[in-house]
Amino acid sequence: MWSAVPPCYRAPEIAAQIALIAESHARLLGRPLVGPGGDVVRALWEAPIVIVAHGTEADPLFFFGNAAALARFACPVERFVGLPSRFSAEAPLREERQALLERVSRDGFIADYAGVRIAATGARFRIEQATVWNLVDAEGTVRGQAAAFDRWTEL
């Protein structure tokens, strides 16, 4: 459905944020998210796992969802980018999601997250064994959080 990297991901500021997804993952988890070298934006976009990321706004907004994420959440990139990330969970589950984000903020990453999410169509699914990590720049400033997963169960 989405083959080419969306133009909005090529804007220099956004491309730098997207590169930070891979850099932070490698630094915090000690292993690469995608292969070395090449076009990191394209590599993350084409990754066979769901990868999403949001910023540090008071109500964090998604700035990246790869092709697998847009398919999983049944949402076009134009709608996904800028969407408050809390909308990826149903209202009763948002407290659980907030506790997760606080745990990641405190510990830097977690590699065992599970929780229920909701697609734009209203379809619910439970993600399993998700990795969630802080996006930390070279100066040590947290610029957001990212999540990756490849296991889920339809509900």
Confidence of residue 69 (pLDDT cuts 50, 70, 90): very high
Return the pLDDT at 93.
65
Sequence-ordered list of residues with C-beta below 8 angstroms from that of 144, at least 6 positions apart, any chain: 17, 20, 53, 54, 55, 56, 60, 63, 134, 135
Return the pLDDT at 92.
61
Mean pLDDT of 110-125: 93
Q: Domains of the chain (ranges plus CATH)?
A: 7-154 (3.30.450.20)
pLDDT in tens, 74-113: 999 999 999 999 999 876 667 776 787 788 888 889 999 8
Give the predicted TM-score (pTM) of the model: 0.92
